[in-house]
Structure 1
Amino acid sequence: MTLIGPSLMCADMGILRETVTKLDQAGVDFFHLDVMDGSFVPNFTMGPDMIKNVRPYTNKPFDVHLMVQNPEKHLDTFIEAGADMISVHTEATEHLQRTLQKIRNKGLKAGVALNPATPIDELKYVLDVVDYITVMTVNPGFAGQKFIPLMYKKISDLKHLLEKERYNIAIQVDGNIGYQTIPGVLENGASMLVCGTSSLFKPEITFEEAVIKLKSFITSQEKEKFKKD
């Protein structure tokens, strides 16, 4: 089953509570919250207070993507803010295994995020403490970027690695995930879609209409994939 999660960095921050409520009612599966420190990536976004502020407006999982240096220093802060899942970048911490294990020890799902140029080999010796892997299909930091075509192969290579090593780990994709790119990422093994301006945040339609349209499209793609398999 393919899960969809709106990227809240694409939302209007002035009506964030209302947006979360509407997306929840529309039937999204989780919420993706990007945290940027202006150092690991050249931008600043959500902090723990903002996450805590919208936490009461949905029971759906909060997937906190820490695009920050030394994320291990900030785990407790975001867990207290309401995170259910936390992903960290391989390049951002010297002790990746310890950081992932700490996330799991706190009762959360632990994720690893890979920048476009980061090789999947860096994951081989932490797969036993990983619940999901986020493949960045654009360079992180800003919304509205173009999908990097080689990421289809990266997703496929990652899927083959997980099957070879016999790990049941979800592959999440993040960056320009829309109607043109969804068929390819699903075909190559992704099962969690972070959706922003390319699919969910459309001014011409309501959130309910956007979610219904997107889910219908995903279902049709899953059926096509099943036929091929």
Structure 2
Amino acid sequence: MVNKKIILSPSVMCSDLTALKEGISELEKVGITDLHVDVIDGAFSPAMPLGIDTIKKVRDITDMNLDIHMMTTNNEFFITEMLNIGVQSISFHVETSLHVDRHINMIKKKGVKVGLALNPATSLSVLDYTLPLCDYVLLMLINPGFATDKNEQQVPYALQKIKDLSNLIQSKSLSTSIQADGRVSLESIPNLLKAGADNLVLGSTSLYRSGRTLLENKQYIDQLISDFQRG
């Protein structure tokens, strides 16, 4: 795991949405290649940060990999919309999918990476038959869509769940990536990496943390990753 590439996926909804083009340009300048985009329908959770038309505009202004995290109830509709936009990866929640296998195949047939997203309390047992089909698994470490609650902390079993998933992946000799999402802070990153996460969704407690510039925070995170990889 230590030699596995660590992917940084800044959450676009943590940037200044009134200056989206400038914010994306700044991410590109500091060497970010992946952009995490939450698609929330207002029913799955009480938030709607970006509409479909805005995501289309984001696709027009950047060549970054668009990593879509769907927090939706009508998954087939949103999968189709995201595929038409031309994104690089899509994760959807097992909790709202009646036809998980069908949705996985819809995405894979278009050559797009597919991930299954799990709410904090959702058991890893839902992956029993689908894990080999996934490029990655997104583990929510807080309740999804409630990021505006600055007092919400990662669930106490966050690290254990990542460790358990990492062990499951290794036991099946798979190369599935583990994406950690929710209060991925400068303080928590080392432990998340040790537990087995290799894709970090970055927000207000890390890359966009106040007190430092975006570049300074990026350099600090790079150093944390370097320290981890050196063991």
- Quickly name the TM-score band, shorter chain normalised: over 0.9
In structure 2, the partner of 1:211 is 218
What RMSD in Å do the two structures reach over aligned CA positions? 1.3
1:140 matched to 2:147? The reply is: no
In structure 2, the partner of 1:124 is 128
Q: Provide TM-score, normalisation by structure 1.
A: 0.94
Residues 34-183 of structure 1 mapped to structure 2, 5 A cutoff:
34-143=38-147, 144=150, 145-183=152-190
In structure 2, the partner of 1:5 is 9
- Is 2:190–2:224's contact at 8 Å kept on the other side of the alignment? no
- Identify the range of structure 1 (104-113 vs 77-86) with the bigger mean alpha-carbon deviation: 77-86
- Is 1:35–1:65's contact at 8 Å kept on the other side of the alignment? yes
For 1:23 and 1:137, locate their aligned partners in 2 and report how far apart those are by CA, in whole Å: 24
Residue 201 of structure 2 aligns to a residue whose secondary structure is: strand
**Which of 22, 26, 30 lines up with 1:22 in the alignment?**
26
User: What is the Cα deviation at residue 177 of structure 1?
Assistant: 0.4
User: What is the Cα deviation at residue 57 of structure 1?
Assistant: 2.9
Q: Which runs of 5+ in 1 are unaligned?
A: 225-229
Residue 74 of structure 1 aligns to a residue whose secondary structure is: helix
Amino acid aligned to 1:46: L
Q: Which runs of 5+ in 2 are unaligned?
A: none
Residue 179 of structure 1 aligns to a residue whose secondary structure is: coil
In structure 2, the partner of 1:32 is 36
Amino acid aligned to 1:61: N
- Is 1:49–1:81's contact at 8 Å kept on the other side of the alignment? no
For 1:146 and 1:81, locate their aligned partners in 2 and report how far apart those are by CA, in whole Å: 33
For 1:54 and 1:80, locate their aligned partners in 2 and report how far apart those are by CA, in whole Å: 14
1:194 matched to 2:201? The reply is: yes
Q: Provide TM-score, normalisation by structure 2.
A: 0.93
- Is 1:186–1:222's contact at 8 Å kept on the other side of the alignment? no
Amino acid aligned to 2:88: D
For 1:155 and 1:115, locate their aligned partners in 2 and report how far apart those are by CA, in whole Å: 13
- Is 1:173–1:192's contact at 8 Å kept on the other side of the alignment? yes
- Is 1:51–1:82's contact at 8 Å kept on the other side of the alignment? no
Residue 178 of structure 2 aligns to a residue whose secondary structure is: strand
- Is 1:66–1:88's contact at 8 Å kept on the other side of the alignment? yes
Deviation per residue, 1:62-120 (Å, 9 max, x gap): 00100000311221211222311000000111010110111000110001001000000
- Is 2:12–2:37's contact at 8 Å kept on the other side of the alignment? yes
Quote the sequence identity (%).
36
